[in-house]
């Protein structure tokens, strides 16, 4: 049956534009998921709750052409061995989310994979590959480099990877629980630190949900400033990655140049907004700081210079035979597979998945800004590099436009804590992909529940596929080309 019947029944959810919610029965839970899958929709997030105060429920958020749809399934907890139907056969990415949900809330899906995911209290059984000459290489959780911790188990023949299995959860800090200890008007600070490289995306997403629930009208100037923050975050991350990718392919020049540009950008950001990384920039009701006219000019000039230099470096990367050789065909994720796996964001757009919330489901001011959508088809490291180069230019253009056309007026509105039991959702296209926050208010300005979701949940499993058939020494390069979050995923 079509999606229409669900959408007609659903109510609108405050926060991000075009989010709807619907309460479902156990049977409808699977029906709705199937209808979404048939219509080509994606699973955005799956989470749950189990508290004395609010009872138990599981939630699935889907991404459709029409926006997002959140299904809520109330659960009666008891002695049963299975509490709800797993969605992993329709959406493979659901599996890890269901395992995490069990770790966090004790609610069990029908998923046959019952291994713990975020909790590491029992021995982990890796899937074994056997055969002539197959051996295993375990790596991590501490890696050789300045990166986040996680464990990778490679099954290889010679240098060729037959299988990679990831074991994540090392940075699990019980963030969902931590949220419930904070006042709802302070939760944005924790949201910004779910994944520090996506601080703006998460804090904006959180505030979007909160402001919807509190019926707070965000001043236009604040919305435009937030967009500038989000694009600066995208530029900073892309600059960092483009340098690191050059370096991982043996071109240290790339790292030196891009890291210099990134430093210039961070200093200009600091000068304009008082911090190098915008960890505290988005606050409920607007933005922490405004920008002085003189600082806007300086920032604009810096962005112009970054764009110009990046264009020259793009030419150098393209012409460099060694880089092309390492980038092309490495870690290929085919379009079909990317669709099946529900890959999101930058990695999705490098594998032909045309989804960018800034364009497909725009919040203010993206309707006015009209960013260009950047999609490449090849799905290899080269394509993920190309998406970054193109998006970098586009984001520089957007920041320039925003600084030119900033609406006058205040950058902050007053906001009150929302009523108890209210529910809202935030949805922002961060540099990695869609960042989603589901927020529910408790009494007296408290948080009953907050679920932040990073697109890395969807994209980590895709990396397991992309590496197959490549050689182990190419893993760092391929891994970097995805650059997924551990902290944002481990919660």
Partner 1 sequence: MLKTLRKIGSIGIVTEPAPAADELLRVRAALSEKIRTILGRALCIRHVDAGSCNGCELEIHALNNPLYNIEALGIRFVASPRHADLLLVTGPVTTNMETALRRTYQAIPDPKLVVAIGDCGCTGGIFGEGGASRGRVANVIPVDVAVPGCPPAPRQILSGILTALSRAGRHS
Does residue number 174 form part of the binding site for ligand SF4 (CB under 6 A)? no
Regarding beta strands 447-453 and 434-441, do their DSSP bridges make them parallel or antiparallel, or are they unpaired? antiparallel
CB of 366 to ligand SF4, least distance (A): 27
Rule CB under 8 A: say whether 276 interacts with partner 1: yes
- Spell out the SS3 assignment of 289-322: CCCCHHHHHHHHHHHHHHHHHHHHHHHHHHHCHH
325: Cβ contacts below 8 Å, ≥ 6 apart:
none
**Of 215 and 263, CB closest to partner 1:** 263
DSSP code at position 39: T
Identify which of residues 148 and 248 has a Cβ nearer to ligand SF4 in the complex: 148
Candidates 193, 276, 373, 397: give the one binding ligand SF4 (CB under 6 A).
193
Q: How far apart are CA 181 and CA 185, in angstroms?
A: 12
User: Which of ligand SF4, partner 1, none sits in contact with 146, Cβ below 5 to 8 A by type?
Assistant: partner 1
Residue with Cβ nearer partner 1 (134 or 255):
255
346 belongs to the binding site for partner 1 (CB under 8 A): no
Indicate whether 120 belongs to the interface with ligand SF4 (CB under 6 A).
no
The residues facing 153 across adjacent strands are: 138, 165
Binding mask 46-75 for partner 1 (x = CB under 8 A): ------------------------------
Strand residue runs (E) in 19-107: 19-23, 42-51, 55-64, 67-75
Residue 189 engages ligand SF4 in binding (rule: CB under 6 A): no
305 touches partner 1 (CB under 8 A): no
Helix 381-405 to helix 220-248 angle (10° resolution) is: 150
Beta 19-23 vs 67-75: how paired, if at all? Answer: parallel
260 binds partner 1 (CB under 8 A): yes
Answer yes or no whether residue 139 interacts with partner 1 by CB under 8 A: no
173 binds ligand SF4 (CB under 6 A): no
Residues with Cβ within 8 Å of 6's Cβ and at least 6 positions away in sequence, in order, are 22, 32, 35, 69
Q: Is 119 in the site for ligand SF4 (CB under 6 A)?
A: no
Site for partner 1 contains 137 (CB under 8 A): no
User: Per CB under 8 A, does 487 bind partner 1?
Assistant: yes
Q: How far is the CB of 431 from ligand SF4 (least distance, A)?
A: 17
**Which residue's C-beta sits nearest to ligand SF4?**
193
Nearer to ligand SF4, 180 or 487 (CB): 487
Q: Does position 177 bind partner 1 by CB under 8 A?
A: yes
Closest CA to 382 of 326, 304, 426, 434: 326
Residue 101 in tokens:
């949900």
Task: Determine which residue in the list 196, 250, 315, 322 makes contact with ligand SF4, applying CB under 6 A.
Answer: 196
Report residue 313 as tokens: 């470096």
Among 95, 109, 171, 393, binds partner 1 (CB under 8 A): 171
Query: Is 259 a residue that touches partner 1 (CB under 8 A)?
Result: yes
Q: How far is CA 109 from CA 96, 124, 238, 424, 477, in A?
A: 11, 19, 37, 25, 35
What token pair was written down for 281? 């920039």
Binding positions for ligand SF4, rule: CB under 6 A = 193, 196
């Amino acid at each position: 049956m079509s999606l229409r019947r669900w959408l007609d029944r659903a109510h609108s959810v405050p926060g991000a534009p075009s989010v709807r919610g619907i309460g479902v029965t156990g049977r409808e839970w699977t029906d709705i998921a199937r209808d979404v899958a048939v219509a080509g929709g994606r699973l955005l997030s799956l989470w749950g709750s189990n508290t004395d105060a609010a009872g138990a429920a599981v939630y699935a958020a889907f991404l459709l052409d029409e926006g997002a749809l959140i299904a809520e399934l109330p659960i009666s907890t008891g002695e049963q061995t299975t509490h709800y139907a797993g969605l992993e056969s329709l959406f493979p990415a659901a599996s890890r989310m269901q395992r995490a949900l069990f770790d966090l809330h004790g609610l069990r899906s029908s998923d046959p994979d019952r291994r713990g995911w975020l909790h590491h209290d029992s021995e982990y059984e890796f899937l074994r590959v056997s055969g002539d000459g197959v051996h295993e290489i375990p790596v991590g959780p501490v890696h050789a480099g300045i990166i986040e911790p996680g464990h990778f188990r490679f099954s290889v023949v010679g240098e060729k990877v037959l299988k990679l299995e990831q074991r994540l959860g090392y940075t699990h800090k019980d963030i969902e629980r931590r949220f419930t200890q904070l006042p709802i008007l302070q939760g944005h600070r924790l949201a910004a630190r779910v994944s520090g490289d996506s601080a703006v995306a998460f804090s904006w997403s959180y505030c979007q949900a909160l402001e919807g629930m509190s019926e707070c009208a965000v001043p236009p100037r604040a919305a435009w400033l937030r967009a500038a923050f989000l694009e600066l975050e995208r530029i900073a991350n892309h600059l960092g990655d483009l340098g690191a990718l050059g370096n991982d392919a043996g071109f240290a020049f790339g790292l030196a140049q891009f890291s210099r540009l990134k430093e210039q950008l961070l200093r200009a950001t600091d000068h304009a907004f008082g911090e190098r990384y915008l960890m505290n920039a988005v606050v409920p009701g607007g933005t922490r700081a405004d920008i002085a006219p003189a600082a806007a000019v300086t920032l604009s000039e810096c962005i112009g210079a970054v764009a110009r230099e990046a264009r020259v470096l793009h030419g150098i990367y393209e012409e460099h035979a060694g880089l092309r050789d390492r980038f092309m065909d490495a870690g290929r994720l085919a379009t079909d597979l990317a669709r099946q796996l529900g890959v999101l964001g930058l990695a999705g757009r490098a594998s032909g998945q045309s989804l960018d919330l800034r364009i497909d489901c725009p919040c203010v001011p993206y309707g006015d800004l009209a960013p260009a959508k950047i999609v490449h088809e090849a799905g290899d490291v080269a394509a993920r590099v190309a998406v970054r180069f193109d998006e970098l230019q586009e984001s520089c253009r957007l920041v320039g436009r925003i600084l030119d056309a900033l609406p006058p007026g205040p950058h902050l509105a007053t906001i009150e804590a929302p009523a108890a039991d209210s529910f809202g959702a935030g949805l922002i296209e961060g540099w990695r992909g869609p960042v989603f926050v589901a927020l529910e208010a408790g009494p007296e300005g408290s948080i009953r529940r907050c679920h932040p979701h990073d697109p890395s949940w969807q994209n980590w499993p895709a990396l397991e596929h992309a590496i197959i058939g490549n050689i182990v020494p190419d893993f760092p390069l391929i891994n970097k080309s995805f650059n997924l979050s551990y902290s944002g995923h481990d919660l």
